[in-house]
Structure 1
Amino acid sequence: MKYTRVSALAALGLAATLSLTACNGDDSGSDAAANGSSSSSSAGSSSSGSGQTSQDGAKSEGGSGSGGSEAGDGKSGSGSKVEAGAGSGASKTGKVTFCKTADLAIDAADAAPDESTGRIDVTMINRGSTTCSATGFAGVDIKDEDNTSNPVGRGHAQPRVTTLKPGDAAVFNLAYDIDSSGDSLSHPTNLLVTPPNETHSVTLKWPEGAGAIKGAYTDVEVYPTHNTN
């Protein structure tokens, strides 16, 4: 009888031990699974975060590259402007002061050397306070009594350097053939004169006593300026 009870108790103890062992094993498995799941989740999150960082980095580099390109273009553009300014000779024109129409006293006079050669001298006196240049060809239009305006072509001559100190004078000439027949079709009334390198003109009366123009206004020629002294 005692043996039977001992056996029964031993069996109960063994069952309890096995039960506890089984429970502990399940908990460890659950914990391990949980830990594994957590680790996987953490790893996944870390991997995902790493991927995000990489993407952000790529965007940042792209932005930097784009900005660098824009900065480069800006520098290039600036360089082009500087080169264009240098190429245009801005520094040279800065050293040269051309005579302004407003600073010139301009007059026209008949200067025909004979009865067949017509010549008009247009004199420009520097009334300004600084030295200026009147080098080159003046622009000249002849206005007819019918109110038409006709440009005068340039004669075959090379311009001469013409520098005017305050009070100095320069002159240029209009040349043409005189029509002595009395049948000239030209009836000039005025000269519209634009000094060299200027855009503003003055209107002068056709010189009294100047001979009639032979042919058309296109036969008149203007010659470069030169100093009078």
Structure 2
Amino acid sequence: MKYTRTTALAAVAVAAAFSLTACGGSDSSGKGSSTRNSSSSEGSSKTGGGSGSGGSEAGNAKPDSGEDTEARAGTANGATRTSGKVTFCKTKDLAIDAMDAAPDETSGRIDITMINRGSTTCSATGFAGVDIKDADNTSNPIERGHAQPRVTILKPGDAAVFDLAYDIDNSGDSLTSPTDILVTPPNETHTVTLKWPQGAGDIKGAYTDVEVYPTHTTE
């Protein structure tokens, strides 16, 4: 009987020990798995946040300023091309005349008018080239005055005007004797010769003291 009880007790002790070992291993395995899952989830969350808020959106973003610049450039070029259809007036299509337009006895002014006798609209924008021919047969180029050219578009029949300005010499001892005005319309190479207007005041100083101003419409 002793032998039987001893054997039974030993068996119970072994079974109990085995049970405790099995429980301990299960807890350890569970804790390790829980820790790894937590780290993996946390890491995945950080990576996902970085990719969503920065990487992909920044990589797919387009430079708006570049696209806007191209659009503006296209519009500007289009406007340039459209205005480019209006060619500069040809000398042969212009009726050109000069007249004395002095406002008083000290300020000399010669108005030169150009009328579009052509069949199409043209541009007379800018400065005309002007030389004054003297009685000694010399030709003297006239300097431009300080003025900004204005857009001057002429439909058939329209007129543009520009003027020569100078001081009048009332001493009777002028050093100049102008006979003709040589006019080359803006952006042209063909010149017309006009008579110096009868009754225009004498030029004070020299031809370098005369200035030509840009064209403008008469309206």
Task: Name the TM-score, length of structure 1 as normaliser.
Answer: 0.60
> What is the match of residue 156 of structure 1?
146
Q: How far 1:133 moved relative to its partner?
A: 0.2
Per-residue CA distance 1:174-207 (angstroms, 9 max, x = gap):
0000000000010000000000010000000000
> RMSD of the TM alignment (CA)?
1.6
Task: State how far apart, in whole Å, the 1-side matches of 2:102 and 2:144 are.
Answer: 19
Q: Which runs of 5+ in 1 are unaligned?
A: 1-89
Q: How far 1:121 moved relative to its partner?
A: 0.1
> What is the match of residue 211 of structure 1?
201
Q: Is the 8 A contact 2:184 2:191 kept in 1?
A: yes
* Larger-gyration structure (1/2): 1
Return the match for 1:112 from 89, 93, 102.
102
Task: State how far apart, in whole Å, the 1-side matches of 2:162 and 2:146 are.
Answer: 13
Structure 1 counterpart of 2:120, one-letter code: T
Return the match for 2:86 from 86, 96, 99.
96
> What is the match of residue 66 of structure 1?
none
The 3 A distance-change label for structure 1 pair 199 and 93 is farther
Q: Which runs of 5+ in 2 are unaligned?
A: 1-79
Aligned counterparts, 1:125-164, within 5 A: 125-164=115-154
Identity fraction in percent: 83
Task: State how far apart, in whole Å, the 1-side matches of 2:162 and 2:151 are.
Answer: 13
- The aligned length equals 141
Task: State how far apart, in whole Å, the 1-side matches of 2:166 and 2:191 are.
Answer: 22
Report the secondary structure of 1:218's partner residue.
helix
Q: How far 1:94 moved relative to its partner?
A: 4.9
> What is the match of residue 221 of structure 1?
211
Per-residue CA distance 1:93-142 (angstroms, 9 max, x = gap):
85231000000000000000000000000000000000000000000000
Q: How far 1:91 moved relative to its partner?
A: 5.4
Per-residue CA distance 1:124-172 (angstroms, 9 max, x = gap):
0000000000000000000000000000000000000000000000000
Task: Name the TM-score, length of structure 2 as normaliser.
Answer: 0.62
The 3 A distance-change label for structure 1 pair 92 and 146 is farther
Structure 1 counterpart of 2:200, one-letter code: A
Aligned counterparts, 1:1-229, within 5 A: 94-229=84-219
Per-residue CA distance 1:7-40 (angstroms, 9 max, x = gap):
xxxxxxxxxxxxxxxxxxxxxxxxxxxxxxxxxx
